Structure formats: C-alpha cells, structure tokens
Structure 1
Amino acid sequence: MRVLVVEDDARMASMLRRGLTEDGYSVDVASDGFDALWRASEVEYDSVVLDLMLPGIDGLEVCRRLREAGRWAPVLMLTARSGIEDRVSGLDSGADDYLAKPFSFAELSARLRALVRRGSTARPAVLAAGDLGLDPSTRQAWRGKVSLDLSGKEFALLELFLRRLDEVLSRPVILEHVWDFAYDGVSNVVDQHVASLRRKIDRPFGVQQLETIRGAGYRLRAQPLSLPT
C-alpha cells in the first residue's frame, strides 16, 4: 500500500513516515500543496494523509483539486482546528475523515487502515434524489430548475440526508453530524431546522420527500411523493 503524507512540519512528517513504514506502507512525503498535487498526478496512491495548514495552497484546496482531477484515494485530513465548522469544511472539500492534533499515532494508524479497507471508489460530484440536487463543491442546491436559498445548517442537513437516502436518522445522529456535542439530545434545534428545510425543499413544490418518522427521527426518500391538491 502506498501512502502520500502531505505535511510541512519536518518533525511531524518524519514521525509519520517512520510510523507508517513500520506499519508496512510505502510512504512518499510532500512538504507543500503544489508538491502534493504533482505527486498525486503521477502516482495512484492508496490513501493520503493531508495536513490542513500548508504553505502555498492549504489542505482544503489540495483536496478539492484532487477530487476535481478524479483522484479518489481516501484522504485523512490532519488539523489543529477541532471546531465543527472546520470539520464540515474538510469533509465538504472531499476528505473522508479528519483527525485533530495532537493525536496518537495508534489512532491515526487505525483510521488509515479503515479508509484503505473502504477503498477509493469514485464518488459523484453532485448528490441527487429525484429532481432534488446538491453540489457540495459549489455550495448550490436546487429542486428541478429552481435554485434553493439555504442557510449553512440547512445545507449541511440536506447534504447529510442526501448521503444517507431512505435511512431513518435519529436526532442524536443528526446533531452529531451537523452540530457539535455541546447540544443535548432533547434540544429541539433539529426539529426547528428540519422544519425550515422542509418549507424550502418540499412545500413550495407540492411534494413530500423529507419525512418525519414518529418516535425515530427523519428520512429523505429517494423519490418525492406528490401531495394532493
């Protein structure tokens, strides 16, 4: 297995190279974003360990460009920022997982093994369910030919539902993915934002696609149901 480590801190890069080599990986190291993009264009890596803060172009931009170029090797992003918005930004750029600094090498190794097992299957740039669509890279959403004006949280909610179509998502699961752990599970913040999202993606179009599953949570159907007129 061949891994690309993108890290500008020489000591950190050396530690990662040594540890991953001992784990049996073949390791290449890039010290900036431009070098990373060049290496990834020349070699089919099995995974990429990518620092967020890099000279030149940062890790978010590197990840976006990799995905735009059709490079789908799993990306584990390293960041000194642990806020939910930073994590969402990393995942929106195309990263598969994130790890906040400081971290233990054992955890990094375990996360990397999980990503490598998952493989590098190509993922669509646009998420869609019926005529409802969303493009994470451009932050645009639409129903048919109508552009949807969504808040940041509404966009994150819709992306979560589109990635997990026909799956009932409980309130705690939604909180974990869209907010942070400071909210408790009895808060009605999820209900309020789901209701707001439904008012924008369903009601104006006379359809029902975002459903409330009583006692369980919410589900986005793969295809909308027409409401009686």
Structure 2
Amino acid sequence: MNQPHTEARILVIEDEADIAELLCLHLGDVYSEIVHESDGEAGLARAMAEPWDLLVLDIRLPGIDGLEICRRLRTENQYLPILMLTAKTTELDRVLGLEIGADDYMSKPFSVVELIARVKALMRRASAFGNLHRAGRAKDVIKIADLSIDTSSRNVSQAGETVELTAKEFDLLLHFAKHPNKVFRRSELLDTVWGYGHEGYEHTVNSHINRLRSKIHPGYIVTVWGVGYKMVTTS
C-alpha cells in the first residue's frame, strides 16, 4: 500500500534530464507536489512567483546559475530552504553556496536515500524556525531591549526601524534570541542553524555574525574569546 504524501511543494531546478527525472520521481514518492524547471531564468522566475516549501537547486545551469539564483532569493529576503547540487566537489563551490545562504549542499553523484534524508531534515528545521504555515500571534514576537523579532512574519525591527536580514541571518539571530546569554561554539551554530554536513566551515559563522552586527546594534552579539558567541539582553 502506498504511503500518503506529505503536503509540500518542492521546486527542482536541474538541467540534466536524467537527474531531474530521478529527483522528481523519488521526491514525488514522499511529497505531494514536485515541479521541475531546467533553465536558470525560468527557474528563478518560478521560485519567486509561487510559494514553495523547498528548492533543490543545481549550481551549473543555463541562463542564470544556481549561485546567482540563491543570491537573488536571499537578497529579496524570501525564505526558502535551499538544497544545492553540483557535479563539482571543489571547496570554492561549497563555500560560495553556504556564504550566499544555501541551507545544505550535496555533490553528484549522490545517494537518493541520503538526499531524501536531507530534504526531510531541512523541512523539519524550517518548521522549527516557524517558516511553514504559521499564523502570526503576539506570543511569536521576541523582544530584547529595543530589538523586536517576529518569528511568524520573520520581520525584525530595532527602535521601531525595520532591519532587513537575509534568511540565514534571521535564523542565526532567532537562535541567539531564544537562548539569551548562552554561549555557543561556532560548530554548535553550524549544526543548529545550517544543519549537519558543514563541519570545517566555522568561518561561515564568522562572516554571518559580522554582517548581522552591521545591521543591528553590534553590542547584542558578543564574542566570548576562545569559545564562541552569545547574545546579551542589553545593547
């Protein structure tokens, strides 16, 4: 007997027909709606025009490549869990993908079982951060001094002024805000905010925290030398 599908819309942007067919087939066994685009420009337009629960994105695409698609989605402050695929295993590709906001990363050829596991992990993490079908409620607003974080709408303001954050910057800030005064090692932040499989990329945490400090009062997130970072409740 077939198992019921999980309600979710997944967009696959992949130009290799055999890999796209494989992805759509196996993701379609688990999730209710899988849509495929093979061109970068068409894929970006589709990603921005409709609501999605996850994007599976190849890096090398005709038209606009996957890195640029990811960058534009994050620039628009549109939160969408992104799993990037690439035929290359270079350090540069992986670092670039993580730096611009990809949530996870897999190299081709990949195990279908592992891919499904990672997709499920991204879905769980997105749900935990309040990104899947949550209505805004007053109790979803976290206030720390003059900083206000709405976990449902993913809006942040400081002293009444809107603060524009990328999806990953928001996730990082929210994690700190939920655990004020607790010190986190970089490896812990990678595991919790970025997910498993990112060991050795602690510099990604550093760069995101530096960007976050440039957008909110830098005194909110402090460095605990030799350990990591923590959020203090007064700026």
TM interval, shorter chain, is 0.5 to 0.7
Q: 2:75, 2:166 within 8 Å by CA — same for their partners in 1? A: no
Q: Across the two proteins, how many residue pairs are aligned to each other? A: 176
Q: 2:77, 2:166 within 8 Å by CA — same for their partners in 1? A: no
Alignment identity in percent?
38
Gaps of 5+ in 2: 1-7, 132-152, 191-198
**Cα 1:31–1:172, aligned 2, differ >3 Å: closer, same or farther?**
closer
Q: Relative to structure 2, which stretch is displaced further, 75-84 or 167-176? A: 167-176
Q: 2:87, 2:109 within 8 Å by CA — same for their partners in 1? A: yes
Q: 1:77, 1:99 within 8 Å by CA — same for their partners in 2? A: yes
Q: Confirm or deny that 1:108 pairs with 2:132.
A: no
Give the distance between the partners of 1:11 and 1:87, measured in 2 at CA: 23
Aligned counterpart in structure 1 of residue 89 of structure 2, from 82, 92, 103: 82
Aligned counterpart in structure 1 of residue 183 of structure 2, from 132, 148, 168: 168
Give the distance between the partners of 2:228 and 2:75, measured in 1 at CA: 32
**Cα 1:23–1:164, aligned 2, differ >3 Å: closer, same or farther?**
closer
SS of the residue aligned with 1:94?
coil
Give the distance between the partners of 1:53 and 1:124, measured in 2 at CA: 32
Cα shift at 1:63: 0.9
Q: Confirm or deny that 1:14 pairs with 2:21.
A: yes
Q: Confirm or deny that 1:177 pairs with 2:201.
A: yes
**Cα 1:37–1:82, aligned 2, differ >3 Å: closer, same or farther?**
same
Q: Confirm or deny that 1:209 pairs with 2:222.
A: yes
Aligned-residue Cα RMSD (Å) equals: 4.0
Match of 1:218 in 2: 228
Give the distance between the partners of 2:78 and 2:96, measured in 1 at CA: 19
Cα shift at 1:95: 1.3
**Cα 1:210–1:100, aligned 2, differ >3 Å: closer, same or farther?**
same
Q: 1:80, 1:102 within 8 Å by CA — same for their partners in 2? A: yes
Specify the structure having the higher radius of gyration (Cα): 1
Q: Relative to structure 2, which stretch is displaced further, 31-40 or 77-86? A: 77-86
Give the distance between the partners of 2:185 and 2:49, measured in 1 at CA: 43
**Cα 1:87–1:123, aligned 2, differ >3 Å: closer, same or farther?**
farther
Amino acid at match of 1:178: E
Aligned counterpart in structure 1 of residue 71 of structure 2, from 64, 77, 80: 64
Give the distance between the partners of 2:202 and 2:89, measured in 1 at CA: 14
What TM-score, normalized by structure 2, do the two folds share? 0.59
**Cα 1:124–1:104, aligned 2, differ >3 Å: closer, same or farther?**
farther
Q: 2:85, 2:107 within 8 Å by CA — same for their partners in 1? A: yes
Q: 2:14, 2:37 within 8 Å by CA — same for their partners in 1? A: yes
Match of 2:101 in 1: 94
Give the distance between the partners of 2:58 and 2:74, measured in 1 at CA: 16
Amino acid at match of 1:68: T
Match of 1:36 in 2: 43
Q: 1:211, 1:221 within 8 Å by CA — same for their partners in 2? A: no
Give the distance between the partners of 2:86 and 2:231, measured in 1 at CA: 35
Give the distance between the partners of 2:200 and 2:155, measured in 1 at CA: 24
Q: Relative to structure 2, which stretch is displaced further, 47-56 or 19-28? A: 19-28
Give the distance between the partners of 1:52 and 1:111, measured in 2 at CA: 17
Deviation per CA, 1:82-123: give whole Å up to 9, x if none: 344322211222211111222101111111112122247366
SS of the residue aligned with 1:86?
helix
